[in-house]
Structure 1
Amino acid sequence: MDTSSRADAQARTPAASRRRGAVLERAILDAALDQLSTVGWSGLTMEGVAAGAQTGKAAVYRRWPSKEDLVADALRAGLPPTGPAPDVGTVRDDLLALCIRTRDAMFSRSGLALRSVIHECDTTQADRFHAVIFEGVVEPTLAMLREVIERGVERGEVRRDAANDYVCDAIPAMMMYRSKMCGSEWTDKDLTDMVDQLMVPLLRPETG
Structure 2
Amino acid sequence: MTERRRRGAELERAILAAAADELTESGYEGLTMDRVAKRAGTNKNTLYRRWPNRAVLGVAAYRHLMTKAVDLPDTGELRADVLELLRGANRHWDSPEGAVLRGLMAGIGVPELLAQIQDAVSDAGSALWLTVLGRAVARGEARPEALHPRVATVPVALLRNEFLTSGRPNVPDAVLVEIVDEVYLPLVRAR
- Report the TM-score range of the alignment, normalised by the length of the smaller protein: 0.7 to 0.9
1:129 CA drift (Å) = 5.9
Which residue number corresponds to residue 115 of structure 1?
102
Matched, 1:73 2:60: yes
1:200 to 161, 168, 185: 185
CA gap 1:102/1:175 in 2 versus in 1, 3 angstroms: same
Matching residue's letter, 1:111 = G
**Matches for 1:9-48 after TM superposition, within 5 Å:** 21=6, 29-37=16-24, 39-48=26-35
Is the partner of 1:176 in helix, strand or coil?
A: helix
Q: TM-score, normalised by structure 2?
A: 0.74
CA gap 1:127/1:99 in 2 versus in 1, 3 angstroms: same
Which residue number corresponds to residue 183 of structure 1?
167
CA gap 1:79/1:166 in 2 versus in 1, 3 angstroms: closer
Is the partner of 1:153 in helix, strand or coil?
A: helix
In structure 1, distance between residues paired with 2:97 and 2:162: 19
Identity value in percent: 29
Q: Which runs of 5+ in 2 are unaligned?
A: none
How many residues are paired up?
183
1:99 CA drift (Å) = 1.4
CA shift digits 1:40-66 (9 cap, x unpaired): 434433345467x396xxx34133123
Note the aligned Cα RMSD (angstroms).
3.2
User: Which moves more between the two structures, 37-46 or 170-179?
Assistant: 37-46
Which residue number corresponds to residue 128 of structure 2?
144
Higher-Rg member (1/2): 1
Q: TM-score, normalised by structure 1?
A: 0.69
| Contact 1:86/1:94, CA 8 A, preserved across alignment | yes
Which residue number corresponds to residue 100 of structure 1?
87
